């Protein structure tokens, strides 16, 4: 029997990211954001690197409040 471990909420879709999923953990200036791999790819394709950086910053701000 395996136990699911949650890493945090996805910075794009805000659903929980589980360790058994494909995910990305991004470190940005001493902050950490989690993305489902598919969410990160879609964000990069749709809006580029600046949007991914903004999502990471916004995810960090909401987790620390």
Question: How does pLDDT run across 6-60, given as a tens digit for each residue?
Answer: 888 998 898 999 988 899 888 877 778 899 999 999 988 988 888 877 877 777 6
Q: Domain count for the chain, please give it.
A: 1
The pLDDT value given to residue 31: 77
Determine, yes or no, domain membership for 1.
Answer: no
- What is this structure's pTM? 0.72
For residues 31 and 48, give the distance between their C-alpha atoms in angstroms, rounded to a whole number. Answer: 20
The answer to whether residue 44 is domain-embedded is yes
CA distance 50 to 56: 10
Task: Give the span between the Cα atoms of 53 and 35, in whole angstroms.
Answer: 12
* All residues at 6 or more sequence positions from 19 whose CB lies less than 8 Å from its CB, including other chains: 4, 5, 6, 7
Q: Does residue 14 sit within a domain?
A: yes
Q: How confident is the model at residue 61 (pLDDT cuts 50, 70, 90)?
A: low
For residue 47, give its domain range: 6-64
Categorize the per-residue pLDDT at 2 as very low, low, confident or very high, splitting at 50, 70 and 90.
low
pLDDT score, position 38: 93
């Amino acid at each position: 029997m395996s136990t699911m471990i949650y890493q945090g909420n996805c910075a794009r879709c805000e659903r929980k990211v589980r360790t058994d999923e494909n995910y990305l953990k991004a470190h940005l200036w001493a902050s950490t954001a989690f993305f489902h791999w598919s969410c990160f790819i879609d964000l990069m394709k749709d809006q580029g690197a600046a949007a991914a950086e903004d999502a990471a910053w916004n995810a960090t701000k909401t987790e620390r409040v």
